[in-house]
């Protein structure tokens, strides 16, 4: 049996972690496994011009061995003007497969990656089962980093350290703009480098691109970028334990205003 439960929606506060629903979530008495989570982010009070909506979700528990587990919400791209409307990708489904004790509690937290002018809301769906699935997955994130604005320029992120990992099963992340400019979309690629990758060297994957705007004059104040969460799943990258990973973004086309990027890793 598999069921879904929902935590939230809850407005988050700046870049400070906010506990969704303001309290721990109590699992059903017959729960045996948290199979997956689906984080949703929205901005029902409106958007701010030149400001993308970005956050991540973290799971914790004193009763269940669930962490580290931090994953990205699908971002909402920035708009040129106050009348702008930004489309958004469907909420991602992230595997967890954490064995749990029925009736125990899980903490679900959300943190803004920027200090939003209009604070967004986060809701998290939990997929729960009365059987145990394996393997269990953990997840970690890098840091939101300015990517620069020069084409073919590679920017280094903060890096990610994994402990207790055997293999990486997913690489994810996004590159996102701030001020939308005429014909200035975002394309490029991520690169992850580590001496702890046991096979085939550096890992590279393309960002889900953002198309350029046709014009940004006073009559097109609704121009917005359609930002995407990039996910490369079903990977099998054996790693050493521990492993330190350097993350990079290589911008393909020069931007008028520098954007930002962030990378995440799922592993077991």
Query: In the prediction, which pLDDT does 38 show?
Result: 98
b/e 238-256 (16+ beta carbons within 10 angstroms → b): ebeeebebbbbbbbebebe
Distance CA 171, CA 227 (A): 17
- The length of the chain in residues reads 268
How many distinct structural domains can be found in the chain? 1
Residue 247 has pLDDT above 60, yes or no: yes
Which residues partner with 8 through β-bridges?
A: none
Would you give the end-to-end CA distance of the chain in angstroms? Answer: 24
Residue 263: per-residue pLDDT = 97
Burial class (CB in 10 A: 0-12, 13-18, 19+), 207: buried
How many angstroms separate the CA atoms of 66 and 36, rounded? Answer: 12
Q: Which domain holds residue 116?
A: 2-267
Distance CA 42, CA 46 (A): 9
- In the structure, what pLDDT confidence band is assigned to residue 212 with cuts at 50, 70 and 90? low
**Quick one: tokens of 263?**
């990378």
Q: Rounded to two decimals, what is the model's pTM?
A: 0.92
What's the mean pLDDT in 151-161? Answer: 88
Residue 189 or residue 209, greater confidence: 189
Distance CA 140, CA 158 (A): 12
């Amino acid at each position: 049996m598999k069921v879904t439960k929902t935590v939230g929606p809850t407005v988050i506060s700046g870049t400070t972690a906010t506990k969704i629903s303001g309290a721990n979530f109590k699992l059903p008495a017959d729960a045996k496994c948290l199979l997956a989570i689906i984080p949703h982010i929205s901005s029902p009070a409106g958007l701010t011009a030149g400001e993308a909506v970005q956050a991540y979700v973290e799971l914790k528990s004193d009763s269940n061995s669930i962490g580290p587990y931090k994953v990205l919400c699908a971002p909402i791209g920035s708009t040129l003007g106050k009348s702008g409307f930004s489309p958004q990708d469907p909420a991602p489904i992230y595997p967890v497969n954490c064995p749990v004790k029925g009736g125990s509690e899980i903490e679900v937290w959300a943190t803004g990656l920027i200090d939003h002018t209009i604070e967004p809301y986060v809701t998290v769906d939990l997929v729960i089962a009365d059987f145990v699935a394996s393997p269990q997955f953990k997840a970690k994130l890098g840091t939101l980093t300015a990517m620069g604005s020069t084409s073919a320029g590679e920017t280094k992120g903060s890096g990610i350290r994994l402990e207790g990992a055997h293999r990486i099963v997913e690489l994810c992340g996004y590159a996102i703009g701030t001020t939308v400019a005429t014909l200035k979309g975002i394309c490029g690629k991520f690169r992850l480098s580590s001496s702890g990758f046991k096979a085939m060297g550096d890992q590279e994957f393309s960002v889900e691109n953002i198309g350029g705007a046709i014009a940004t004059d006073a009559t097109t104040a609704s121009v917005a970028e359609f930002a995407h969460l990039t996910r490369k799943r079903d990977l099998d990258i054996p790693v050493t334990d521990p492993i330190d990973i350097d993350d990079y973004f290589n911008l393909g086309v020069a931007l008028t205003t520098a954007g930002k990027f962030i990378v995440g890793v799922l592993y077991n």
